[in-house]
Amino acid sequence: MTSNHIILVNEQDEALATMEKLEAHQKGLLHRAFSVFVVNSANEMLLHQRAFHKYHSGGLWTNACCSHPKPGEEVEEAAHRRLQEEMGFDCPLQKLFTFTYHATFDNGLIEHEYDHVFLGRFDGEVVPDIAEVDEYGFFSLQEIARQIRDTPERFTYWFKVAFPMVVEQLEK
């Protein structure tokens, strides 16, 4: 089994099988994923612009990182691994919630994910992988909300769905 396999799940997040990542996205099958949101001590959120060559949503702005756990890998373990790989740091993570979404992209690929959302707090140096990230920065929650309202096409689908739920958790 290659590292490009992801975990297919049912609506209760019970593992059913594994499948090559691209095939699962071509068929639009529900699979396990995670999204990591990071804020600093000023309550600004780390966003990054996905590399333009990504297989979908290239050039769009999104949360600190997101991906899929590998078969046999715990979701939180995968979130830490991917945060280190993509953004060059790790931090404590708190699981906030899960949600399911379905989105079809212009290139015909389909995201159908059971997404585990984590929150981290970090004030150190960000050293992104340039193969994954074109730009990044910390932005106020109000600025992000304004940008989503004014230019929603600049953001990933899942980010626009999860962002208000993360903000709600931050305000508790």
Which of 91, 109, 90 minimizes the C-alpha distance to 157? 109
d(C-alpha 66, C-alpha 142), whole Å: 22
d(C-alpha 72, C-alpha 82), whole Å: 15
Catalytic option among 113, 125, 132, 171: 113
Residues 34, 67: contact at Cβ < 8 Å? yes
69 secondary structure, DSSP code:
P
For CA atoms 77, 90, 52, 101, give the dihedral sign.
positive
Strand bridging mode 110-121 / 31-39: parallel
Backbone φ and ψ for 146, nearest 5 degrees, come out as -65, -45
Instruction: Provide the greatest CA pair distance for the chain.
Output: 44
Residue 113 annotated to the active site: yes
Q: How far is CA 49 from CA 56, 98, 161, 163, in A?
A: 12, 23, 17, 15
Catalytic option among 65, 66, 86, 111: 66
Residue 91 annotated to the active site: no
Active site residues: 66, 113
